[in-house]
Structure 1
């Protein structure tokens, strides 16, 4: 099992695995000309829906004439923003994920974006996804140039700051200097090795924590192997053994190290963790939160995200939800319903009867009404594959719920990848207006 403890060359960046978790960080600042560094800055401790850039948790910031760079406590870069006139917008930025993807956050006009996805900023991915919104920021010279040049900018800043820097700054610059792009890529590969492969899709509810989470796979594969799905693996479904889960948690603790100070959320994978044995689900959450220190994060609260299916939701015993409700965190379970029209289900290759989907939808409403800490959300496809799909979905979202409710979001996803469609956007807004549940577009994002 790879643990990431020797991830950065020269032993410099490996301190990401042993860095202390500062309970009350004291900012250490140093400035030389137009270059400034602030170590142990503290951002917001609560995730919020705001229409301005927000940094969360503990980080270090280096600002030069060309850019603003932010790093996690282990010295890994997590944020970039250009300062030149060619930078697209002063309130747009790049964020680097633990899977080593750069995501560009754009405003998209604010009001249109928040109505569509429930967030004020639109994540633009460097890989093809199903988004109906956004532009092509990774085709802009200013964006690609900054992604390529940040190591040189860091080296220049280090050379300028180092001679007269205090010890805390010198230590941090050494950590950051040891985490170059090759090392960061290696770190990501080690993470994938720990959990058994890249997370190809995250639950849409992970948007509530800006996708900042720890992945833990308690199962593999999914139950259905639907023909339309492009993001799930072909592996047959199985629960992982408890010793596999324990080894994974231990390796994740070493890999994240002091960087878990900024994490309060857990993703239980893979594609249908709700189908796992209820005792395994609860035990994995409790052990992971304890061993990884998620309850001691500087971020308030705590969350668990997982996928489920129609059958795993209908088969899940009531005692599982009672146990989940007793945990000191919120639990979000996302169910792939896709359609309540039988012809559409058949065309999707989803081996379900429409009546089962309707039954799962009503079970979802029952759980959301009975439990405060648990929220079941659902996905539907947007494309009108058969004449009855959209009318049947609209009838369920409008007449299948007695009144408007703030809980139990519905996420609509087009089947087309990389093909924005004005007509689909119009269909979405019509459905959103008529739905009695919060309704948003589902932007597929990987880890």
Structure 2
């Protein structure tokens, strides 16, 4: 794609269709992927996608919290503030250099309250005024630039909220939790619901719905994909990843998953994405994992995707499982963990990850049982198959849990990170 001319005046630079990075890269300074239009004034920097919708913003004055921190708006119309958190500590804890600070209560142990900052609130609420002032003050804007600004202004906060509601309606509801592995694409996923509900209805869970599990008929999934194409529209080249929802898409079965992957690849033109490669993320359960045949993973090897399947194990200690209300035995958890290692060792394009809970008040057997799995049962350090530790309590940072996590991470023989629950 050829960039449109850049408009420059004394305090303004506007660049249309600016080409960013082609793959997600972990660096300790901001690297933005995809094709976007950039508006830079003396005080502000704004990014817009190919639908002329605002997607990122930051301040440039001394009042902005940090020069490398920025705001991101996702397709669910949430504003997320990315903070450095001191870089090293955040990277060790999450596997990423930047910490997503979310506008809703979640289970994170890290981060502050950037949304309380006056300049952050000013930008979230005032970006349309910035564009309006440009149109009023600049008398010799190129036609392309003027048209872009008018189109961006037409995507008002209310219209963006309405569009997010349309997205939720297509998918049967908001994606209340994304797999932790979606961090690999900065949570920029297209959601397709191939199954509703989950199997277990664990007592501790705060993010999954109470619907009974049911696979979505193929015709309905295809209808979702067709409607999603119109939602993402001109911005599809900036996507190369799927979230197959909801909470146990693996239970939908191999045939349904493979058919959805194939249908979406063509409908969303992933072969023409500006971004390199493509990925799919989904949740599974111990039951669905153990019932999935080896032939499924062999089929995945023939697809163009890298597949990440996240399994909720929670604990290998029976007393802890009982307290959590998870209808599994510790033997089933250990068997599933062994199966995860076998899959990760054998197949190159599939990575199975696992979740465990973290809390100060869990039974005494929880952490020893966890270490028995992630350390004693493994003869060597594994390069894949991340384990995510998820604090049970929402909105309650705990210094002791942070220290405890650091100890567990050092002892673990698989990559181990905190799971900060994030929605779309």
TM-score normalised per structure 2 = 0.98
CA distance in structure 2 between the aligned counterparts of 1:168 and 1:251, rounded to whole angstroms: 29
Q: Map residues 27-426 of structure 1 onto 2, 5 A cutoff.
A: 27-161=4-138, 163-383=139-359, 384-426=361-403
The alpha carbon displacement at 1:174 in A equals 2.1
1:170: Cα distance to partner? 2.3
> For the residues of structure 2 that align with 1:436 and 1:225, how far apart are their CA atoms?
30
Runs of 4+ in 1 over 4 A off after TM superposition: none
Q: Distance in 2 between matches of 1:315 and 1:34?
A: 61
Q: C-alpha distance in 1, partners of 2:357/2:347?
A: 27
Structure 2 gaps, min length 5:
none
The one-character-per-residue Cα deviations of 1:272-300 (angstroms, maximum 9, x if unpaired) are: 00001211100001101110112211000
Q: Note the residue ranges of structure 1 that are not aligned, 5 or more in a row.
A: 1-23
Alpha-carbon distance in 2 for matches of 1:279, 1:140: 49
**TM-superposition CA deviations, 1:145-164 (whole Å, max 9, x none):** 11111111111122234x32
Q: CA deviation at 1:167?
A: 2.4
TM-superposition CA deviations, 1:317-352 (whole Å, max 9, x none) = 111111112111100000000000000000000001
Query: Higher mean Cα deviation, 62-71 or 29-38?
Result: 29-38
**After the TM superposition, which of the residue ranges 171-180 and 343-352 deviates more from structure 2?**
171-180
Equivalence for 1:7? none
For the aligned residue pairs, the C-alpha RMSD in angstroms reads: 0.9
Q: 1:195–1:248: 8 Å Cα contact kept in structure 2?
A: yes
CA distance in 1, matches of 2:285, 2:135: 50
SS of the counterpart of 2:301? helix
Q: Distance in 1 between matches of 2:252 and 2:62?
A: 52
Whether the 8 Å CA contact 1:158–1:173 is kept in 2: the answer is: yes
Whole-angstrom distance in 2 between the partners of 1:127 and 1:431: 28
CA distance in 2, matches of 1:160, 1:345: 63
- Residue deviations 1:325-380 (CA, integer Å, cap 9, x gap): 21111000000000000000000000011100100000000000000010000000
User: 1 or 2 for the larger relative contact order (CA 8 Å, sep ≥6)?
Assistant: 1
What's the secondary structure of 1:326's corresponding residue? coil
